[in-house]
A and B are shown apart, each in its own frame.
Chain A
Amino acid sequence: MTDRAAAWSALATVRDPELDEPITDLGFVAELTIEPAVDGPGVRARLRLPTYFCAPNFAYLMVADAYDALAGLPGVASVDVRLEDHFAAEEINAGVAAGAGFGGSFPGQATGELAELRRTFHRKAHAACLERACRRLLAEGWQIESLADARLADVPESPERAGLLRRRADLGLPDGPDAPLVIDDGGAPVPPGQVAPRLRFARTVRVSIEGNSGWCRGLLRTRYETTEEGAT
């Protein structure tokens, strides 16, 4: 039986692809209700974003992912996910409800679906998580050159380790204990001389993602004059 807590947990698996955080933590879920019906419960969610002009492709991904997450709950008879207060809300809501895909939601405006966009941002998220994990090892006394020999097993149980493993899985990159820690976007180990530059740029990626997340949270607070948690 699906209850509201289960529906909330399902939405918590949906991440803003750009900010790499759950939409539930970001305050993007404005409303979540379960309505009983003869053939099973109906789930209704309302999503909101920090600005009227947030990029429509990321908005679409979040609405579509939310729809899929809720539709996957056992016994749910109907799902209604709607984005509110956004310039492209009408196209996105109609497209997701009809299963039209991104291209079908914006005819003539797109040359394809969003898999490559999602992958681009998975790579950025992976770089940021790799930098966090390496930063942790460096603080524990590792030398930067020796990180080329480090394995995933060398990163102790921690939020940094958990975050890194999940992004490895997102990208289909090696995530076993013996897998090398410092790899490039394609999964190849980074040679010792290249570890420092790889981590230097990864730091910029991390600063960028963290900064955007803070900016978006602030704008959402300002726009809706609320705390961030939304419909908890």
Chain B
Amino acid sequence: MYTANGESYFVVDSHVHFWDGSPANQANRYGKGFIECFYDYHRNLSPEEWVWPLEKFAKYSEADLTSDLFDTGYVDRAIFQPTYLSDFYVNGFNTTEQDGVVAEKFPGRFIVNGSFDPRDGEAGIERLEALAERWSLQGVKLYTAEWKGASKGWKLSDDWAYRYLEACERLGIRNIHVHKGPTIYPLNRDAFDVADVDDAATAFPNLRFIIEHCGLPRLEDFCWIAVQEPNVYGGLAVAMPFIHTRPRYFAQVLGELLYWVGEDRLTFASDYAIWSPKWLIERFVDFQIPEDMQAEYGVLTPEIKKKILGLNAAKLYDIPVPA
């Protein structure tokens, strides 16, 4: 809970990681390139005092994680979003099991999401069932640009993806977090295009599709589908930290999202450990649309901020919110 100016904010950090990107776990140059890319995101958009050395960033401790989220970071509940990258890392970059071990030590603080890869076929559906049972999954995080041997990605509209989404419905997994990356088959098409989410959201009206990074770098494509599909949400990971380096751009992105998607379908996220929730939350609660942009975008009220910071995600995950 974060309290400022007489207002209390229940905080759900909808996208956190506990990864191992250290050299010992890197399987090849792609693993090295991936963590270095994340590290550049981290150093480019974090306030100076929040920038870690690469060694710590590649593999931080459980104590770093829980302290930064709960002791100093105001987070009431954090949602683990796995990112397997099995072709890049020996033991995977951030698996459901890695997250689960920590979650079990801190009951009531974490929600463990799973993942699936439609290219795993029938065997993968069985693994998803086992994962759902073991961790009581309410959500999955999907990374469509994940490499798998010769394959450089997949789409939500693929036949097998639909089979997995049907399994999710059957297993009570209602929150489908979608992360777009730079590669997808076929490589000649725009990999960041979210049109496949549109198809899946129409085909599965009972599932909620939370588009991570609100579709960035295709904000416009995301807004276009979210306005038509009531079960599409925007996750604010990656958009949030612009509040520090480029506050006017942050105001524009948030203004666009509020116009097209609305205040009930946006969820706060730090993408920890790329960024840390404490400074994001403090600045967001203090933030206002600059005066010269208010004619276009309106103003942010405490009610809007409360929804974004926690209440919207609490609804998606049935998290009780203290009165």
Contact across chains for A204 and B187 when beta carbons are under 8 A apart: no
Stretch at the interface among B28-36, B66-74, B284-292: B28-36
Q: Point out the residues of chain B lying under 8 angstroms from A215, CB to CB.
A: 217
| A52-B36, A55-B183, A56-B182 as given contacts; A204 in contact with B188, CB under 8 Å | no
Q: Point out the residues of chain A lying under 8 angstroms from B216, CB to CB.
A: 211-212
Bound-complex Cα distance A55 to B188 (A): 10
Q: Point out the residues of chain A lying under 8 angstroms from B43, CB to CB.
A: 222
Q: Point out the residues of chain B lying under 8 angstroms from A210, CB to CB.
A: 249
Contact across chains for A109 and B37 when beta carbons are under 8 A apart: no
Bound-complex Cα distance A170 to B40 (A): 34
| A51-B40, A211-B253, A214-B249 as given contacts; A106 in contact with B187, CB under 8 Å | yes
Judged by a CB distance under 8 angstroms, whether A57 is at the interface is yes
Shortest C-beta distance, B53 to chain A (Å), equals 15
Contact across chains for B217 and A18 when beta carbons are under 8 A apart: yes
Shortest C-beta distance, A158 to chain B (Å), equals 21
Contact across chains for A201 and B224 when beta carbons are under 8 A apart: yes
Judged by a CB distance under 8 angstroms, whether B134 is at the interface is no
Shortest C-beta distance, A110 to chain B (Å), equals 4
Bound-complex Cα distance A106 to B220 (A): 29
Bitwise interface map of A from 100 to 132 toward B, beta carbon under 8 Å scored 1, else 0: 001100101111111011001000100000000
Interface residues of A in 60-99 (CB under 8 A from B): 87
Contact across chains for B220 and A110 when beta carbons are under 8 A apart: no
How many residues of A are counted as interface, with CB atoms below 8 angstroms from the partner's CB atoms? 40
Q: Point out the residues of chain B lying under 8 angstroms from A203, CB to CB.
A: 256
Contact across chains for A114 and B188 when beta carbons are under 8 A apart: yes
Bound-complex Cα distance A106 to B30 (A): 17
Which residue of chain A has its CB nearest to the CB of B224? Answer: A201
Contact across chains for B188 and A117 when beta carbons are under 8 A apart: yes
Q: Which of A53, A113, A201, A218 contacts B181 (CB 8 A)?
A: A53
Q: Point out the residues of chain B lying under 8 angstroms from A201, CB to CB.
A: 220, 224
Contact across chains for A110 and B44 when beta carbons are under 8 A apart: no
Bound-complex Cα distance A223 to B41 (A): 9
Judged by a CB distance under 8 angstroms, whether B150 is at the interface is yes
| A204-B220, A208-B220, A211-B253 as given contacts; A56 in contact with B41, CB under 8 Å | no
Most buried by A among B40, B219, B242: B40
Which residue of chain A has its CB nearest to the CB of B249? Answer: A211
Contact across chains for A111 and B44 when beta carbons are under 8 A apart: no
The count of A-to-B residue pairs whose CB atoms sit within 8 angstroms is 99
Q: Which of B36, B189, B220 contacts A205 (CB 8 A)?
A: B220
Shortest C-beta distance, A70 to chain B (Å), equals 24
Judged by a CB distance under 8 angstroms, whether A6 is at the interface is no
Q: Which of A52, A56, A111 contacts B37 (CB 8 A)?
A: A52
Contact across chains for B44 and A222 when beta carbons are under 8 A apart: yes
Judged by a CB distance under 8 angstroms, whether A188 is at the interface is no
Bound-complex Cα distance A201 to B45 (A): 27
Q: Identify whether the interface residues of B are mostly helix, strand, loop, or mixed.
A: helix
Bound-complex Cα distance A106 to B189 (A): 13
Q: Which of B152, B218, B223, B260 contacts A109 (CB 8 A)?
A: B152
Q: Which of A87, A109, A212 contacts B186 (CB 8 A)?
A: A109
Contact across chains for A53 and B182 when beta carbons are under 8 A apart: yes
Bound-complex Cα distance A26 to B220 (A): 22
Interface residues of B in 140-187 (CB under 8 A from A): 150, 152, 181-183, 185-187
Which residue of chain A has its CB nearest to the CB of B152? Answer: A109
Judged by a CB distance under 8 angstroms, whether A162 is at the interface is no
Q: Point out the residues of chain B lying under 8 angstroms from A110, CB to CB.
A: 186-188
Q: Point out the residues of chain A lying under 8 angstroms from B189, CB to CB.
A: 57, 116-117
Most buried by A among B34, B43, B191, B252: B252
Judged by a CB distance under 8 angstroms, whether B246 is at the interface is yes
Contact across chains for A219 and B256 when beta carbons are under 8 A apart: no
Judged by a CB distance under 8 angstroms, whether B89 is at the interface is no
Q: Which of B33, B190, B253 contacts A120 (CB 8 A)?
A: B190
Shortest C-beta distance, A54 to chain B (Å), equals 6
Most buried by A among B188, B218, B245, B252: B188
Q: Which of B150, B183, B219, B224 contacts A211 (CB 8 A)?
A: B219
Knowing that A117-B189, A208-B219, A208-B220 are A-B contacts, what are 7 other residue pairs whose CB atoms are under 8 Å apart, sorted by A's residue number?
A53-B181, A55-B182, A87-B29, A109-B186, A112-B186, A204-B220, A212-B216
4 closest A-B pairs by CB = A52-B33, A111-B186, A222-B44, A208-B219
Instruction: Name B residues whose Cβ lies closer than 8 Å to a Cβ of A.
Output: 29-30, 33-34, 36-37, 40-41, 43-45, 150, 152, 181-183, 185-192, 216-220, 223-224, 242, 245-246, 249, 252-253, 256, 260
Instruction: Name A residues whose Cβ lies closer than 8 Å to a Cβ of B.
Output: 18, 50-57, 87, 102-103, 106, 108-114, 116-117, 120, 124, 201, 203-205, 207-208, 210-212, 214-215, 218-219, 221-223
26 pairs across A/B with beta carbons < 8 Å? A52-B36, A52-B37, A53-B37, A54-B182, A57-B191, A87-B29, A102-B188, A110-B186, A112-B186, A113-B188, A120-B190, A204-B223, A207-B252, A207-B253, A207-B256, A208-B217, A211-B217, A211-B249, A212-B217, A218-B44, A218-B45, A218-B245, A219-B41, A219-B44, A221-B44, A222-B44
